[in-house]
Structure 1
Amino acid sequence: MVVDDSAIARGIVVRTLQEEPGIEVVASVPNGLMALKAMAAHDMDVVVLDIEMPELDGLAALPRLLEAKPNLKVIMVSSASQRDADISLKTMAMGAADYVAKPSAGLGGAESFRAELVRKVRAHAASRKPAPKRPPREKPPVREVAATAPVPIRRRAAAEKRCPELIAIGSSTGGPQALAEVLRDLAPRITQPILITQHMPATFTTLLAEHMSRYSGRPAAEARDGETIEAGRIYIAPGGKHLLVEPRAAGGLLVRLDDGPPENSCKPAVDPMLRSLARVFGEKLLVVILTGMGNDGLKGCEVVAREGGRVLAQDRETSVVWGMPGAVAQAGLCEEILPLRQIGPAIARIAGGEGK
C-alpha cells in the first residue's frame, strides 16, 4: 500500500513499484485514515507511508497500522529536512522498518530514490516474519539453530588475548534501533573510541549522532575531517563521506573524510572504514556488524580477520534484514554470532580486558 497526500508523488511511487516483477500495489490512498480502512480490505506485506498528510499523518497512523497488523513492514517516506529526518528516526523507534528520503528536486527524475525504494520494499517483504501462531499441543515448537550456529573463523590465534583499542560498528537497515540498544548496554568501563558507519544521507547522520549521545550517555557527533580521535567518544560517518583514519606524526589518530566513489552502492560505506582501521590497529580492533541489507562490510571484515582483529555479528532472528551480518557470518569471519541484546555485553566482555 502507498500512502501519500500528493497525487503526483503517489502516482510516481505506484508506477515505480508496479513496474517491478513480483510487486503488486493493492491500495493507494491519500492519508492515514484511508490507510486504516484499506488495511481491513486488503492483504499487504509492506506500507510506504508519507509523513506529512492531512486528517491523519504518518506519525499518528504508524502505531495504529502496526496495532492492526503487528508483522507489517512500514517504510517511511520523508523529505531530507531536519524536521522530517528527526521524525523518521523517531518512527523507527516506534516500530517503522525503514525510511527513504525524498529528493529535494522532486520525484520525477529521481532514479536513485526509486531504486532505493524498490530495493527496500523487496528486502522488507522478504524478511517479514509471519504472525505468531499457537503451536499444536502434541507438537511443541522446535528451536532451529542452524541458521545462527557459529561457523569456523579465520583469524590469528593471538587476537583472542589482545584487548581492542578501538571499536568499529557497521549497520544499515534497522541500524538506528540496533545501535541504540547496543550503545545503551555498554558498560561505563568501556572507554575505547567507537567509530560507526550507518547507511544514511546527510542531515540524518547529524540527528543520528544526537540520538546516540542521548541513548549511550557518551559524547557522539558526526566525525569532522582532521579532528583527533579521543577515548570515550563516538564518531559517526557523515552522510555522503567515507570515514577513515590516519596516524598523527605526534601520536594518536586523525579522522579523514573521503569523498571517493560509493562502495556497495553506499556512501558512507562500511568497507572503507574497516580497511583503514585494520591497517592501523591490526589485532587490537573489534568490529561489530549489525542488521542491514546487502553485503557492505564483508570485504572489510576479511581484511580485519587477516590482520588478527575480532568480528561479532548480529544473528538472523533479531536482525531486521540479515544481509550484512549474514554475509560476514557465512564467510566464516565471526567469532560470535549473537542476538542483539547480547552484543553490548559481549563488547563489554571483550573490550573490558578479557584475556588481556
Structure 2
Amino acid sequence: MPKRIRVLVVDDSAFVRKVVSQMLARSASIEVVGTARDGEDALDLTARLEPDVVTLDLMMPRMNGVEFLRAQAKRRVVPVVICSIAGESGAMALEAFEAGAVEFVQKPTALASDRVYEIADELIAKVEAASRASVGRAPADAHPDAQVPGTDVHGPVLARRAGATAADLVVLGISTGGPQALRYLIPRLPASFPVPVAMVLHMPVGYTAMYAERLNDISPLEVVEAADGDVLRPGVVWLAPAGRHLTFVRDPDTVIRAHLDLRPLDTPHRPAVDVLFQSAAAVFGPRVLGVVMTGMGNDGLLGAAHIKAQGGRIVTEAESSCVVYGMPRAVAEASLSDRSATLEEMAGTIAELI
C-alpha cells in the first residue's frame, strides 16, 4: 500500500483539533499522527513524530503560528497548511506565507456548527498537495527586505528595452507557493515596465488587498488590488480580488478597463486564471503574454489554450523552482508553453518576450 501522509494538527481549540482530525480521517491517504494545542507543543511533537504535513492555526497562546513556522524552519522545514479564520489574523497570515506556509484553508466563523465540515474536501486536497510540495528552497538571491530601486539588494533591476513591445499585456496565474514567488518576482520588474500586468493568485477573501499593499511597498511598479472600471496602463500590476473574476472590457474610445464579476459561477476558483486568460485573449488578441506559475491543479490550462489560439505566447515556471508543479505541468504537457523558466529566470524571460 502507498505510504500514508502523516499529519500533525495544531490548534488551541480542542473542538477544532477533533473536527480537523475527523475531516482528514475521511481520506484513506492521510493519517493524523498527533495534535498540538499551541506552537510550543507543535515544536515538540514535530521533532518526535516527524509529520509530513502540519495543519496550523495562527492565533494561539504561548507561541502563535508564525512563531512556530520561524522556529521550525531552523530545525527541519515541513510543509504547513494554515487553517485559520480569515480577517481575524490577516497580517499574521501574510507573515505565515512569508515564513514558508504553502497553503491556506479558511475556517468558518461558526465553529460550533456543521459548517466547519464544509471545508473537508478543500482541506484534504491541500494537505495532499502540501505533502508533495518542495519546501525550504529559497531563490538564489532572495532577501526578506524590500528592494530599493536602483540598488542591488535583490540583484539587478531589469531595464526597459527600447523599441516597440511584442505584447500589450502580461497576465499571470499562480496558486500554491504564490505569495513567496510573487514577492520575489514582482520587485524585479522596473517602474518603466512597458505594459500592464494582471494577476490571479488563489487566496481567501480578505487577504488580496493587504497582499497587494505589501507587494507595492517593495516593488518599483505600482501594485494594487483591481477595482471595477480601472483603466489599464503601463507601470501598474493589478491583483484580482479574492471572490471575483478579473476580466477586461474595451470602451468605445478604445480605453481598456478592468471588470470584476461573480460570473462565471461554475469555476473551481474565483478568481480563476482561466477566466483572466480567456478575457485577455478576447480583448488583446495575439498581443498577450501569459505566465503560469507554481500551484496545484490545472487552472490556466484552458486560458492558455485561448491565448495560444489567438497567437499569444505562454511561459511556464520550471518544475525545479515550483512549490507544487501542477498548473505549469498541465500547460506544458498540453504543448502550450513557449518557454520554461525558473523563478530566478522569470523576470528576465518576461522582459525578453515583451
Q: Tell me the TM-score normalized by structure 1.
A: 0.86
Instruction: Answer yes or no: is 1:190 the counterpart of 2:231.
Output: no
Instruction: Answer yes or no: is 1:248 the counterpart of 2:251.
Output: yes
Alpha-carbon RMSD across the aligned residues, in angstroms, is: 1.8
The partner residue of 1:276 within 275, 279, 287 is: 279
Deviation at 1:111, TM superposition (A): 4.2
Contact 1:163-1:284 at 8 Å conserved across structures: yes
Instruction: Answer yes or no: is 1:227 the counterpart of 2:230.
Output: yes
The partner residue of 2:44 within 11, 14, 37 is: 37
Q: How does 1:339-354 map to 2 (within 5 A)?
A: 339-351=342-354
Deviation at 1:162, TM superposition (A): 6.1
Deviations 1:129-153 (A, max 9, x none): 799xxxxxxxxxxxxxxxxxxxxxx
Name the CA distance, whole Å, in 1 between partners of 2:280 and 2:224. Answer: 19
Aligned length: 320
Q: How does 1:1-356 map to 2 (within 5 A)?
A: 1-70=8-77, 72-81=78-87, 84-106=89-111, 108-128=114-134, 163-351=166-354
Name the CA distance, whole Å, in 1 between partners of 2:136 and 2:63. Answer: 28
Give the aligned residue type for 1:14.
S
Name the CA distance, whole Å, in 2 between partners of 1:235 and 1:241. Answer: 13
- Structure 2 SS opposite 1:220: strand
Question: Structure 1 residues 263 and 295 mapped into 2: Cα distance closer, same or farther (>3 Å)?
Answer: farther
Give the aligned residue type for 2:105.
V
Deviation at 1:215, TM superposition (A): 2.7
Contact 1:271-1:298 at 8 Å conserved across structures: yes
Structure showing the higher helix proportion among its residues: 1
Q: Tell me the TM-score normalized by structure 2.
A: 0.86
Question: Structure 1 residues 249 and 112 mapped into 2: Cα distance closer, same or farther (>3 Å)?
Answer: farther
Question: What stretches of structure 2 of length at least 5 have no aligned partner?
Answer: 1-7, 138-163
Deviation at 1:263, TM superposition (A): 4.8
**Which has the bigger relative contact order, CA under 8 A and spacing at least 6?**
1
Deviations 1:71-128 (A, max 9, x none): x1011222111x5122111111112222222222336313442222111100111235
- Structure 2 SS opposite 1:227: coil
Deviations 1:153-197 (A, max 9, x none): xxxxxxxx9611111000111111111211111134313111011
- Structure 2 SS opposite 1:274: helix
Contact 2:79-2:133 at 8 Å conserved across structures: no
Contact 1:3-1:48 at 8 Å conserved across structures: yes
Name the CA distance, whole Å, in 1 between partners of 2:192 and 2:260. Answer: 29
Instruction: Indicate the percent of aligned positions where both proteins have the same amino acid.
Output: 34
